[in-house]
Amino acid sequence: MSGKGQMYIKTFSVKCDDASAIASEINTLFSKNKPSLVIGYGNADLPFRELRQTLNNLATPFFVSSSCRGALLCDEGVVDAECNLALFCVIDEGGAFGVGSADSVQCGSFEAGAKALQHALDDAGRPYESPTLIWCALPPGDEERILEGFASVVGTQVPIFGGSMADNTVSGNWNTITRTSCGSQTVAVAVMYPSTPLGLSYSSGYKPTETVFKATRAQGRQVHQLNDYRASAVYNEATNNLIASQLDGGQILGLTSSAPLGRPVALDNGAVNYLLCHPDSVDTNGALHVFSEVKEGEELVLMEGSISSLIARAERVINNAIMLLPEGKKPVGVLMIYCAGCRLMVGDEINFMLYSLQEKFSSLPICGPFTFGEQGRFLDGKNRHGNLMISAVVFSQ
């Protein structure tokens, strides 16, 4: 690694075919320079414990989280949508970085969020200073409470970006490792105080239709009624019998990726963003089970997405983040979150997307996971948890 004295990003692809060879390969990668922070993503079947032991020996802040069907990595030498292990390394001698973690089962989601963040602030050596960015990997299921836990420590003004860990089969085989934690219920937080500005963008890439519902009966992540009728029946009619075979119960996750529900978020400039909500199953009472909370009385817009729009949005969200950098700042690396549901929907076209990114951003390393939930902040300044979303954090020098 080079770039001494300035912000610099380096990405690596590690095969991990042989657990015994991981230590040797990673030690070789970091033999000349120790990164300020390492963020890693990879397949759910990685040898996480061996990997944790190796990274612990580096004595640098890190977390590695599982991603659906491997991680995405795009740089000058690699274009891979199924990377076994991708490492995003931040080298910034003028900045400060820390990682903290906690178990959400042992202490509850809210408390785990608060503890993990406080540990990260302590690790960065700035326990009482709000960071520029919080980057996280969360266990799926109660992300809203974890975000509230973060806010209890630093307030609501610090942007929170990241994703919920994933596996290949939605079977709970996800994992995250840090210096002190390893497991499927690990809340991992990286706090960043970079010496140069960051560009941030959070988006959906879906278009609203003219169909608008009211969640007339909802609790948590269950929508019982839309417009005063059984939610599954109303949704099915609006989507031309998309879930006709599952009206009285069944999995609909793969069917609904093209037609999620969107919560409109009005911005000060008059524009409207949509925070997406992904229906994943129907219960025997006809309620829709979704991957993010819906409030009773909330307006939900039926959204539509296509393979072409989901491919094009990656370039758009990176461009948006770059445009938010101060004038004269050069982008040097991108952490990108891409929803696993969208990744499965686009199939092999994901390779076309990555090659297009390599062509468009030829010298810009891009790395990230395919996630089961996405955390980010629209331009209204509020942190949220959504589904089927995409985000980009651009580092600069």
Q: Are 51 and 153 found together in one domain?
A: yes
Confidence of residue 303 (pLDDT cuts 50, 70, 90): very high
**DSSP secondary-structure letter at 80?**
E
In a domain, residue 168? The reply is yes
Tokens of 204: 């959906």
Q: Are 237 and 278 found together in one domain?
A: yes
In a domain, residue 230? The reply is yes
In a domain, residue 55? The reply is yes
In a domain, residue 3? The reply is no
Q: Are 237 and 274 found together in one domain?
A: yes
In a domain, residue 2? The reply is no
* pLDDT tens track for 8-59: 999 999 988 777 788 888 888 888 878 999 999 999 999 999 999 999 988 8
Confidence of residue 268 (pLDDT cuts 50, 70, 90): confident
Q: Are 287 and 158 found together in one domain?
A: no
Q: Are 383 and 331 found together in one domain?
A: yes
Higher per-residue confidence, 219 vs 27: 219
Question: Which pLDDT belongs to residue 19?
Answer: 73
* pLDDT tens track for 243-267: 999 999 999 999 999 999 999 999 8
Question: Which pLDDT belongs to residue 3?
Answer: 47
Q: Are 83 and 67 found together in one domain?
A: yes
Could you give the number of structural domains in the chain?
2
In a domain, residue 49? The reply is yes
In the chain, the percentage of residues whose pLDDT exceeds 90 is 89
Q: What's this model's pTM, rounded to 2 decimal places? A: 0.95
Residue 368 near residue 338 (C-beta atoms within 8 A) = yes
Q: Are 33 and 126 found together in one domain?
A: yes
- Full residue range of the structural domain in which residue 58 is found: 8-203+309-396
* pLDDT tens track for 198-211: 999 999 989 999 99
* pLDDT tens track for 304-314: 999 999 999 99
* pLDDT tens track for 100-113: 999 999 999 999 99
Q: Are 267 and 367 found together in one domain?
A: no
Q: Which of 262, 232, 231 is nearest to 246 (CA)?
A: 232
Q: What average pLDDT does range 124-152 have in this prediction?
A: 98
Question: Which pLDDT belongs to residue 2?
Answer: 45
DSSP β-ladder status, 288-290 and 71-74: unpaired
Q: Are 13 and 65 found together in one domain?
A: yes
* pLDDT tens track for 147-175: 999 999 999 999 999 999 999 999 999 99
**Among 279, 304, 329, which residue terminates a domain?**
304
Q: Give the chain's mean pLDDT.
A: 95
Q: What average pLDDT does range 332-349 have in this prediction?
A: 96
**Among 289, 304, 319, which residue terminates a domain?**
304
DSSP β-ladder status, 370-371 and 331-339: parallel
CA distance 376 to 374: 7
Question: Which pLDDT belongs to residue 20?
Answer: 75
The C-alpha torsion from 102 through 190 and 80 to 29, rounded to 10°, is -100
Q: What average pLDDT does range 263-279 have in this prediction?
A: 92
In a domain, residue 1? The reply is no
**Among 304, 328, 362, which residue terminates a domain?**
304
Q: Are 76 and 191 found together in one domain?
A: yes
Tell the burial category of 141 from Cβ atoms under 10 Å away from its Cβ (0-12, 13-18, 19+).
Answer: middle
Q: Are 157 and 211 found together in one domain?
A: no
In a domain, residue 252? The reply is yes
Q: Are 331 and 286 found together in one domain?
A: no
